[in-house]
Amino acid sequence: MIHRPLRYVAGSVLALATAVPSLAAQSQSELTEAIALAKSKIYPALCNISVVAKGFEAGRTVRHQGSGSGTLISPAGHVLTNYHVARDAVRIVITLTTGEQIPADVVGHDPMTDLSVLKLRVDERENPHKPLPFATFGDSDKLEVGTSVLAVGNPLSLSSSMTLGIVSNPHRVFAGAGGQLFEFDFDSGNRTGLFTVWIQHDALILPGNSGGPLVNLNGEIIGVNTRGGRGLGFASPSKLVRAVVAQLLSFGEVRRGYIGASFQPVAKLGRKSGAMISAVVPTGPADKAGLKTGDLVLAIDGEPVIARFAEEVPPVYQMIAELKIDKSHSFSILRTGKKMEMQVKVAKMQDYVGKQIEVRSFGLSVQNITAPMALLRRYPNNKGVYVTGVRPGKPFEEAKPAVRSGDVIVALAGKPVENLASFKKIVKGFEGKELPVTFRRGRQTVVTLVDLEEEDKPKSGGELAKPWLGARAQVMTEEVQKAMGLVGTKGFRLTEVFPWTKASAAGLKMGDVLLAIDGEPFNSYRPQDAKDLKNAVEEFGVGETVPFEILRDGKKMTLDVELEESPSSSIDAKTGRSRFFEFRVRELTFMDRIGRQMTKEQQGLIVTQVSNGGWASIAGLPRGALILAINGQAIGDIDSFDKLMKRLKKEKPRVIPVFIKRGVSTAFVFFEPDWSQLAGK
């Protein structure tokens, strides 16, 4: 240690104390300028993505709204985002930072890396020739721990947000103690993470940031934010992203080589090179070539394989993914101390999850069974279709034995079901009313007969018309008598006389006390006598004029009242439905107009049911609302509603305004259907 007089140390400390604020200020100023530069490059290319996606629930198609972030990456209008943002989308609308909204279509998805590329419909812009801003990619390999980064996106659907952080680890993987990589499972069953070495950072990201860019201070995309929480963010590195984007733009998919083998790192074996095979898929390319668990892969086509640590395993999978498909490749392996050369014919990697459809007439949703899916579920093969849902009360659920979610349908009408295509072909050609179905449940093979004829449930009603007095009344109990100063007066006090009724026309008023009907005094004074008035009225006929003795302002008088037919209840009202938009309505009743304080002339239909996930639900049509008009046409009865629904199916408008009244307020909701889904609705 060098000893110095105290005065020099003090002087040095003083000088340092003086210099630090200046350096800090300078550093802060430079950082602010760098952020401003990065923002100027990335911000115009930021996209707020709104999606309506379809899924399947209990045997029916449902839709839900979602949102996420993305980035324009080409002057042609290509947008980069996450697969979990855009998957199963039936409608995509992208909002730029200028506020311009542009519909978009899917170019391609890659669930394995959770990436998707979309394409703006630039020809639908107000000015199709107006240049689009776009961002460029940076080099994720240059990232180091501590590198400043910006996360840009739309957290919680709050548009155009930017947060600052640093790279915590540029080579993050998720693995078990033995180095076996964890894969993330989407709700749909697709998996991701096998090829990704994540960029871990601490720039705040929240739901809605998904698909947004992680950028360096040069404003270049060095990652795509995919997941995060509790102060941790994870982004797919730009090196991987660029390769995926190139394939999606070229082929609409990512074509990867596959050998059916899993790998673990070799550090625990005391090795510095190679990758250990931890699993081999039966009948897969590796199995057919003779590769075994425990083999060490040293090289592929002469290129060394190095997977000492878990972070180096994804590049091994990527190395295999880049091999030519349907070609044999040389694998140099070490088995029990002996070096061997094995020729492996590489196959094309398949998606984990097959396509799913709804068969509305069956009340069923089914899914194609892929080879990976059959392997994971331990099926004997990938033949048949997997039942993902069955609608309650529909033919397949009503069959005995019933078909359940999780069953595998292997035959219809005696014809084998090989896959989803053959299933659809058999369904299309079947014209009978009873369908023999063979399905597999666990290790059992079960046969059932499905009755495809749905019985129309009879509507309640059929009773003879009953006479009715258009008023409401309360019993003249002893308490009411005392309150009115009419002790000993039995009968009924009118609490309401309905407008537009014979009772109102005859002169009955609220507050009148009914003492007798057709000369017969009421002996009603107990709460349990409340039905006496109704029962007395029903002793007469509809259209019959009956004298009522009443007490009004202390004076007795008689009024002749014509009894009219009891108004229809909501149960008896005529109903209608739209199978495509998935909502039900009924006509207004007399009591609807009274209860909602409407005019006698008020027209409209009351919404009685809105199926969750249907187009009406997505639009925000509330149950109980009064529909006044659809697509500019006033709706007053079920006949006009049915005719309009048929016309809309023919015209297929992009947006259908629905004018509704709820309470005292009116509003518009907008149906924005995907008419390509019309078949079978």
φ/ψ of 4, rounded to 5, equals: -130, 150
> What gap in Å lies between CA 623 and CA 630, rounded to an integer?
16
Is 187 one of the catalytic residues? no
- Catalytic hit among 84, 109, 201, 329: 84
Contacts of residue 12, defined as CB under 8 A and 6 or more positions apart, other chains included, come to none
- Catalytic hit among 210, 236, 262, 524: 210
Confirm if 630 and 644 have CB atoms less than 8 A apart.
yes
> What gap in Å lies between CA 590 and CA 566, rounded to an integer?
10
Is 210 one of the catalytic residues? yes
Confirm if 181 and 310 have CB atoms less than 8 A apart.
yes
Q: Two tokens at 155?
A: 């957290």
Torsion 22-28-32-34 (CA) sign: positive
- Catalytic hit among 69, 74, 109, 114: 114
Residue with tokens 């730029």: 96
Q: What is the 3-state secondary structure (H, E, C) of 2-69?
A: CCCCHHHHHHHHHHHHHHHHHHHHHHHHHHHHHHHHHHHHHHHHEEEEEEEEEEEECCEEEEEEEEEE
Confirm if 658 and 621 have CB atoms less than 8 A apart.
yes
Alpha-carbon separation of residue 117 from 194, 223, 296, 438, 495 (angstroms): 20, 15, 37, 40, 67
DSSP annotation string for 533-579:
HHHHHTTS-TT-EEEEEEEETTEEEEEEEE-EEPPPPTTTS-EEEET
> What gap in Å lies between CA 529 and CA 546, rounded to an integer?
21
Is 84 one of the catalytic residues? yes
Catalytic residues: 84, 114, 210
